[in-house]
């Protein structure tokens, strides 16, 4: 209803410890004026509000239940006779004839009927009918109004019925009866009742009954007093003549649950209190959220306060507060589609700009922040905006002006203190935005493209060492394969934490359904065969559109962890194999950090027909281009022989190559230089080696004991061999070792350096 940033003040939640048992006068007040609050108080005490005496009887030893029954009995047996007698005396003093015998009889009937309803059906309805109905009927039949005054009697009956239904239902369900069309039901009831009364006593009586019921159920008499009171309190508080605390105490909706009509001035007061007393404003917003007729005013006030908070955040550069959801009135967790999401995205980019010392990075994040604001404006301008969106449009314009100002400051800094562009990406996969950095791999892309469009049906299996660029390769497929191929990317990196880890095939088809508009309805959750049948049904749609679909599953090796640990089974592998046998336009690409034979028998048995591919080191030309032209306008910063030194140290491994180049660029920027020396290159290699120590350790741990023994031997010096064993042959096949004319050595010098240091440490 309202964001989490607004504290809750529901009656059930506000009671600390054991709730206090209600006294009789408090119970009576709550019953007629605050029935919703009474409902929550009784539930907190463990008393079911809609129970009958038949259900409550066995629990009379409980103090709360006993107090509830006693108070209900006092309402029926004390309030009803006293109220009826008071009205009778009042009428008698005006000269009207009072038949005390008839009055007493009808009182007894009302009380008796209320008791019967309370015992067998519901105490709430019994109280409501017994008190309100008993008083109204006793006056009607006990007081001689005379000719013409029966219309007043009919109005009284209508009022009694309206109050009875209003109070009883609100108390019963714990929410104002106007919710979910309840007030419409009341109006229909009293209109039908009016028609019945009109048929028996006369048309004027029926109209009077209906009017009285509608007026009472809408609480118009009290609203006529509450509306000007709220407006005056709002005016005085906003002008400073009333303190926020005093103003909040005078608001009628805090003491009256059933104000169905909106109160004028409430929204303006809430907005004013949001600036002057935020905690009090939050409390009032929560109370409004539980009030029947004030929810819209509270919602509009909250929207205005959110817009003002974002405006102040833009003015004062409070990007951290917006990004982390700690900004006042902005919820920490935004609902999907919330317009505030655009501002949070922009704030995260602007926060990143504030902590970065790279001019290029700052320029990129400023552009993304401006794009987020532009996307918000474009999303709103083509349709009818919501109240919050209308308020946020000028705020978005203000944020854009702030971003433009920051971009101007950055341009001045670039002129006064130019930097080398920090183009290299270390530690994360390249995205489509980083496509300029993606070098080589064209031959592999062409092979996969040819395979996918062929008539073969087998799955594809791509493996490569860790940090060889597999995820980056998948991210570029959209650009490399063209628009006729829909790429569905599935990341099994966190499969163990997924709610669908036992049925990963379900995860796959859900993502496919999102990627293909107009896809048939998904089958019910269950085994993989219905999922395969769903994919078969999807193929004609793809054929009709002349499209194909490649389901690329990254880090698929984590499935083997689940099989070994028992939280999934090899069923997904059977699903992939069956899909390869039956589907033509949907192909599976499994991407792993381990070759197929290393994953175990389940994999080689079920994926025996898989088409294997290997992602290995970059060709030297591609690696040289990565070093010298990572982005447009990158200058020549390397000394003579510097590029070759980097390529030799990393063996054109893309991750290590970028790590060395990034370290070199940052070193030069720190020294405000644009040309490196040979010593700078050596130190950048050392810095990258130390920073990538954990990656090198992962490569070591991926080897068997026999393979590690060979790596130890070859890290010290190359060895010339004529008859390599299985372990050495595997190392060569997997790219960790290379041979030239029978001389074997570790492929990546940085890895050999790590092995030597590891040996000294152990």
Q: Are 306 and 27 in contact (CB under 8 A)?
A: no
Mean pLDDT (the chain, rounded): 81
Question: Would the pLDDT of 108 be above 70?
Answer: no
Above pLDDT 70, what percent of the chain?
76
Mean pLDDT along residues 619-636 = 94
What does 572-590 look like in DSSP terms, one character per residue? HHHHHHHHHHH-SSEEEEE
Question: Would the pLDDT of 565 be above 80?
Answer: yes
Question: Would the pLDDT of 176 be above 70?
Answer: no
Q: What is the DSSP letter of 79?
A: I
Question: Would the pLDDT of 437 be above 80?
Answer: yes
Q: Which residue's structure tokens are 């336009």?
A: 585
Mean pLDDT along residues 69-82 = 70
What's the confidence (pLDDT) of residue 217? Answer: 54
What's the confidence (pLDDT) of residue 188? Answer: 44
* pLDDT confidence band for 726 (50 / 70 / 90): very high
The tally of CA atoms less than 13 A away on the side-chain side of residue 277 is 18
Mean pLDDT along residues 456-481 = 90
Residue 592, SS3? strand
Question: Would the pLDDT of 347 be above 90?
Answer: yes
- Of 5-14, 38-47, 424-433, 485-494, the one with minimum mean pLDDT is 5-14
Higher pLDDT, 542 or 482: 542
Residue of 362, 371, 480 lying closest to 432 (CA atoms): 480
Mean pLDDT along residues 36-62 = 72
Higher pLDDT, 639 or 361: 639
Question: Would the pLDDT of 498 be above 50?
Answer: yes
Mean pLDDT along residues 51-61 = 69
Mean pLDDT along residues 169-180 = 47
Q: Residue 107 is inside which H or E element, if any?
A: helix 100-120
d(CA 265, CA 247): 12
What's the confidence (pLDDT) of residue 746? Answer: 95
Residue 464, SS3? strand
Backbone phi and psi for residue 61, each to the nearest 5 degrees, phi listed first: -75, -20
* pLDDT confidence band for 138 (50 / 70 / 90): low
What's the confidence (pLDDT) of residue 208? Answer: 40
What's the confidence (pLDDT) of residue 136? Answer: 53
Q: Which residues of 473-493 are buried (b: 16+ CB within 10 A; e: fewer)?
A: bbbbbbebbeeebbbbbbbbe
Mean pLDDT along residues 487-499 = 92
What's the confidence (pLDDT) of residue 259? Answer: 76
Question: Would the pLDDT of 418 be above 80?
Answer: yes
Mean pLDDT along residues 246-255 = 86
Mean pLDDT along residues 401-409 = 95
* pLDDT confidence band for 9 (50 / 70 / 90): very low
* pLDDT confidence band for 200 (50 / 70 / 90): very low
Cα–Cα–Cα angle for 287, 293, 294, nearest 5°? 45
Mean pLDDT along residues 215-230 = 70
Higher pLDDT, 229 or 61: 229
Write out the two tokens for 618: 């970059």
What does 187-224 look like in DSSP terms, one character per residue? HHHHHHHHHHHHHHH-HHHHHHHHHHHHHHHTTHHHHH
What's the confidence (pLDDT) of residue 209? Answer: 41
d(CA 589, CA 28): 71
Higher pLDDT, 381 or 367: 367
Alpha helices in 317-358 (DSSP H): 319-324, 340-355
Q: Are 558 and 496 in contact (CB under 8 A)?
A: yes
d(CA 119, CA 139): 25
Higher pLDDT, 143 or 638: 638
Residue of 116, 54, 14, 72 lying closest to 64 (CA atoms): 72
Q: What is the DSSP letter of 131?
A: I
Mean pLDDT along residues 99-113 = 61
* pLDDT confidence band for 295 (50 / 70 / 90): confident
Q: Which residues of 307-335 are buried (b: 16+ CB within 10 A; e: fewer)?
A: bbbbbebbeeebbbbbbebebbbbbeebe
What's the confidence (pLDDT) of residue 105? Answer: 63
- CA 684 to chain CA centroid, Å, is 43
* pLDDT confidence band for 189 (50 / 70 / 90): very low
Give the pLDDT confidence of 582-611 residue by residue, as tens digits.
999 999 999 999 999 999 999 999 999 999
Mean pLDDT along residues 431-451 = 86
The tally of CA atoms less than 13 A away on the side-chain side of residue 450 is 8
């Amino acid at each position: 209803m309202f964001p989490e940033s607004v504290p809750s003040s529901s009656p059930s939640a506000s009671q600390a410890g054991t709730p206090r048992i209600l006294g009789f006068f408090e119970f009576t007040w709550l019953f007629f004026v605050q029935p919703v609050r009474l409902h929550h108080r009784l539930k907190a005490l463990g008393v079911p509000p809609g129970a009958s005496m038949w259900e409550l009887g066995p629990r009379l030893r409980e103090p709360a239940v006993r107090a509830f029954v006693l108070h209900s009995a006092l309402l029926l047996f004390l309030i009803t006779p006293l109220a009826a007698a008071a009205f009778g005396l009042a009428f008698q003093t005006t000269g009207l004839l009072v038949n005390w015998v008839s009055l007493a009889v009808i009182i007894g009937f009302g009380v008796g009927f209320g008791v019967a309803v309370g015992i067998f059906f519901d105490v709430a309805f019994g109280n409501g009918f017994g008190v309100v109905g008993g008083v109204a009927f006793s006056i009607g039949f006990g007081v001689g109004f005379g000719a013409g005054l029966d219309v007043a009697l009919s109005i009284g009956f209508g009022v009694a019925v309206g109050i009875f239904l209003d109070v009883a239902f609100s108390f019963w369900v714990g929410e104002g009866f106007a919710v979910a069309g309840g007030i419409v039901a009341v109006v229909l009831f009293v209109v039908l009742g009016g028609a019945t009364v009109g048929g028996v006593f006369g048309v004027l009586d029926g109209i009077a009954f209906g009017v009285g019921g509608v007026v009472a159920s809408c609480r118009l008499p009290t609203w006529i007093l509450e509306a000007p009171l709220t407006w005056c309190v709002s005016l005085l508080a906003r002008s400073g003549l009333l303190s926020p605390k005093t103003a909040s105490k005078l608001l009628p909706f805090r003491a009256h649950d059933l104000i169905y009509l909106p109160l004028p001035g409430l929204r303006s007061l809430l907005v004013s209190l949001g600036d002057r007393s935020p905690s009090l404003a939050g409390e009032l917003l929560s109370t409004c959220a539980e009030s029947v007729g004030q929810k819209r005013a509270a919602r509009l006030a909250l929207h205005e306060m959110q817009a003002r908070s974002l405006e102040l955040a833009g003015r004062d550069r409070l990007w951290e507060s917006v990004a982390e959801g700690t900004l006042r009135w902005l919820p920490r967790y935004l609902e999907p589609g919330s317009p505030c999401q655009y501002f949070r995205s922009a704030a995260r980019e602007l926060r990143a700009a504030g902590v970065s010392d790279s001019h290029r990075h700052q320029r990129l994040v400023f552009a993304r922040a401006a794009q987020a604001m532009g996307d918000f404006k474009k999303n709103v301008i083509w349709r009818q905006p919501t109240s919050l969106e209308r308020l946020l449009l000028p705020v978005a314009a203000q944020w854009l002006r702030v971003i433009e100002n920051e971009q101007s400051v950055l341009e001045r800094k670039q002129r006064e203190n130019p930097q080398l562009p920090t183009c290299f990406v270390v530690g994360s996969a390249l995205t489509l935005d980083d496509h300029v950095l993606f070098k080589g791999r064209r031959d592999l892309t062409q092979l996969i493209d040819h395979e996918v469009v062929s008539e073969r049906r087998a799955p594809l299996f791509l493996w490569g060492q860790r940090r060889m660029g597999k995820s980056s390769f998948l991210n570029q497929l959209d650009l490399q394969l063209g628009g006729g191929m829909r790429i569905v990317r599935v990341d099994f990196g966190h499969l163990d934490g997924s709610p669908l880890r036992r049925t990963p095939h379900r995860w796959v088809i859900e993502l496919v359904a999102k990627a293909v508009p107009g896809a048939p309805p998904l089958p019910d959750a269950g085994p993989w065969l219905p999922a395969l049948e769903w994919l078969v049904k999807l193929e004609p749609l793809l054929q009709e559109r002349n499209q194909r679909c490649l389901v690329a599953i990254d880090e698929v090796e984590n499935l083997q962890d689940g099989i070994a640990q028992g939280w999934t089974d090899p069923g997904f592998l059977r699903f992939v194999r069956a899909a390869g046998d039956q589907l033509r336009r949907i192909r599976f690409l499994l991407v792993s950090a381990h070759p197929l034979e290393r994953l175990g028998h389940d994999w080689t048995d079920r994926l025996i027909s898989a088409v294997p591919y290997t992602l290995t080191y970059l060709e030297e030309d591609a690696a040289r281009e990565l070093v010298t032209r990572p982005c447009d306008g990158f200058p020549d910063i390397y000394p003579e022989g510097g590029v070759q030194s980097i390529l030799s140290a990393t063996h054109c491994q893309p991750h290590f190559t970028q790590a060395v180049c990034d370290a070199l660029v940052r070193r030069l920027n720190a020294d405000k230089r644009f040309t490196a020396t040979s010593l700078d290159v050596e130190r950048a290699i050392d810095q990258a080696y130390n920073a990538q120590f954990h990656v090198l350790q992962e490569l070591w741990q991926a080897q068997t004991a026999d393979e590690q023994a060979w790596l130890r031997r070859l890290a010290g010096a190359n060895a010339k061999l004529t008859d390599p064993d299985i372990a050495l042959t595997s190392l060569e096949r997997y790219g960790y070792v290379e041979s030239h004319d029978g001389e074997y050595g570790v492929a990546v010098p940085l890895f050999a350096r790590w092995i030597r240091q590891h040996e000294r440490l152990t």
